[in-house]
Amino acid sequence: MATCISLPPPLSLSLSSPKIDGRNCLSWSSSFPIIKLSANSLIPSSSTLTPKQGFVVHAAWTRRSRSEAAKRPNRKSWKQRTDMYMRPFLLNVFFSKRFIHAKVMHRGTSKVVSVATTNAKDLRNALPSLTDNNACRVIGNLIAERSKEADVYAVAFEPDKNVRIEGRLAIILDTIQENGIIFV
């Protein structure tokens, strides 16, 4: 028993149930029809496409409008919802007048993965100055070393709005990067 469905010219499709020794099969897998497609008629020629047709699907605009944002101000954007999964480890660097403090923490659980500070007992007595460029290099080395021990090889650094990446901060970031940690 064969059933054929004829479609318009660009696509021809035929359906049939399988037969063994001239008999119809009654097994579960044989209940699915066999589909025969002819590939040469599936691809339309460029002359049959109008300017509005095409094979490219254009993505929808994903930014929320101002009116939509005003209606639901507490709704987070796509980036806010997914960023902690895409870049789970965050580097925080803090400079005070007396010491430098840096830590890598997991965003999802807020657990601290690695910490380095010039205010620690071993560094406080070993370094001549707790805030100079040499101290920044030491902090960068320690953070990279301790992050690798915790199997963290990629971190994100998000500077505040008016913070420039220069001077002591640049020294810490460069030292971390030179020691094999990737910034994402």
Write out pLDDT tens, residues 85-137.
889 999 999 999 999 999 999 998 999 999 999 999 999 999 999 999 999 99
Q: Measuring CA to CA, which residue among 89, 87, 82 is closest to residue 151? A: 89
Please, which pLDDT band fits residue 20 given cuts at 50, 70 and 90?
A: low
Q: What is the DSSP letter of 119?
A: T
Lowest mean pLDDT among 1-10, 115-124, 141-150, 162-171: 1-10
What is the rounded end-to-end Cα distance, in angstroms, of the chain? 61
HSE of 86 in the Cβ direction (CA atoms, 13 Å)? Answer: 7
DSSP β-ladder status, 154-155 and 2-5: unpaired
Q: Is the pLDDT of residue 146 over 70?
A: yes
Lowest mean pLDDT among 49-58, 60-69, 138-147: 49-58
Residues 6+ apart with CB under 8 A from 135: 100, 118, 123, 127, 129
Compute the average pLDDT of residues 1-24: 54
6 neighbors 12 (Cβ within 8 angstroms): yes
Q: Residue 114, class by beta-carbon neighbours within 10 Å (0-12 exposed, 13-18 middle, 19+ buried)?
A: buried
Please, which pLDDT band fits residue 165 given cuts at 50, 70 and 90?
A: very high
Please, which pLDDT band fits residue 71 given cuts at 50, 70 and 90?
A: confident
Higher pLDDT, 63 or 12: 63
Q: What angle do CA 160, 165, 171 make, to 5 degrees?
A: 125
State the amino acid at position 172 in one-letter form.
Answer: I
pLDDT at 30: 58
CA 26/CA 19 separation, integer angstroms? 9
CA distances from 137 to 69, 123, 172, 175 (A): 44, 12, 6, 6
105 neighbors 113 (Cβ within 8 angstroms): yes
pLDDT at 102: 97
